[in-house]
Amino acid sequence: MRFNQFSKSSDSGFVHPLSSEITPQIAYAQRRDWLKQMAAGAAGLSMAAWASRESLAQAPSEAVVRPGKLAQLTGAVSRVSGANTMEKITTFADASSYNNFYEFGTDKSDPAKYAHTLQTKPWTVEVEGLVKKPGRFDLDALLKLSPMEERIYRLRCVEGWSMVIPWVGYSLAELIKRVEPLGSAKYVEFITQADPKTMPGVRSRVLDWPYVEGLRMDEAMHPLTLLSFGMYGEVLPNQNGAPVRLVVPWKYGFKSAKSLVKIRFVEKQPINSWGRSAPQEYGFYSNVNPNVSHPRWSQATERRIGEDGLFAKKRKTLMFNGYEAQVGQLYTGMDLTKLY
């Protein structure tokens, strides 16, 4: 079988938590009981919802509050290891108003102001390059390709801030398996929408358009790598990369390309947009790494949007954004200070 090398990743093959990180069953059970008691008591409904998030329910978690602005899109709580952080979820208001999406302007408030012009219907994603079954997928086909899951991920921006966002989507691996990459496909390149008519930022020369990102094949196949269509139980707002985007939670946010139009399977490492713009500052891998500073600021700490108060100390950034147990083995033997 051509896909033996990848088949492991579809469920649990890549998931090797450190033994020290596995919670003993007794502690785990006690914790749950405690949560249930709390929930039954004064804490009431919201706490109960929070507690139930840990269980592998087939319904979306109730902790996620639907903003009620866009079409509903829900997914079952994901079974992928690491896909359901218990941390406090960033408000939808913050997650949809503080964005880096340079196609709509360089200010963080620009995307929310200007992205309403983005045309997301019709939308097709072209899959090409070193695959057995290339083709054009329209959005409906992609939406039906695999069951939707809800995944609550930390998002760490290279600028030193972070959020916790409930995404809706499925592992990119599902799509990759469908198109059957050839053995020679070593990397995946993601090309995003660049339409000067609907995206005012594309007229500026801040970056070479279209915005391009890339992943190594094993990274792209990792179950945590998400093809996302929604957040907070609804379809993606335009400013967050509608209608379909990538979410790679252990890498800096800019690796998670928005508004995808093309996925290309290639042999050589693609040159991503920020890497082209400033190679000494943004590496291809761009894994979240508190020990490798950006040339102009430290990456050791981060500010959690909406949670860390103005005068609170920033929190420590975790290796691989806290997903080391899940993804650390992808980088065994690599010098991450050089391949940053």
Partner 1 sequence: MLRQALQHRSAKPALWLLCVLPFVWLVWGAANDALGANPAEYLIRATGDWTLRLLCITLAATPLRVLLGLPELAKLRRMFGLFTYFYVVLHLLCYSWLDMGFEWGDIAEDIAKRPFILVGFTAFVLLTPLAVTSFNRAIRWLGAKRWQWLHRLVYMVAVLAVLHFFWMRAGKSNFSEVFVYASVFFALLAWRFLRSSLWHWLLRSGGFTR
In the complex, the residues that contact partner 1 under the rule CB under 8 A are 93-94, 97-98, 102, 106, 108-109, 161, 204, 206-207, 277-278, 281, 293-298, 303, 305-306, 310-311, 313-314
Minimum CB separation from partner 1 for residue 26, in Å?
A: 38
Q: Shortest distance, CB of residue 278 to partner 1, whole angstroms?
A: 6
| Pairwise CA distance, residues 316 & 83, whole Å | 20
Q: What residues contact residue 290 under an 8 Å CB cut-off, 6+ apart?
A: 299, 300, 301, 316, 317, 318, 319
Length of the chain in terms of residues written? 340
Token readout for 216 is 């190594």
Name which of 105 and 223 has its Cβ closer to partner 1: 105
CB 158 to partner 1: min, Å: 8
Among residues 158 and 220, whose Cβ is nearest to partner 1? 158
SS3 of 141, please? Answer: helix
Q: Which two three-digit tokens encode residue 194? A: 């660049």
Helix (H, G, I), strand (E, B) or coil at 137: strand
The CB-of-308 to partner 1 minimum distance in angstroms stands at: 8
Residue 95's H or E segment, with its range, is helix 92-95
Residue number, 28 or 297, with CB nearest to partner 1: 297
Q: Which is nearer to partner 1, 282 or 323 (CB)?
A: 282
Between CA 337 and CA 340 the distance in angstroms is 6
Structure tokens at 243: 């209608």
CB of 238 to partner 1, least distance (A): 17
Contact between residue 212 and residue 45 where contact means Cβ atoms under 8 Å apart: no
Rounded to a whole number of angstroms, the minimum distance from the CB of residue 226 to partner 1 is 22
CB nearer partner 1, residue 8 or residue 314: 314
Full strand arrangement of the beta sheet holding 124-129 = 135-138, 124-129, 260-266, 187-192, 212-216
Residue with Cβ nearer partner 1 (27 or 310): 310
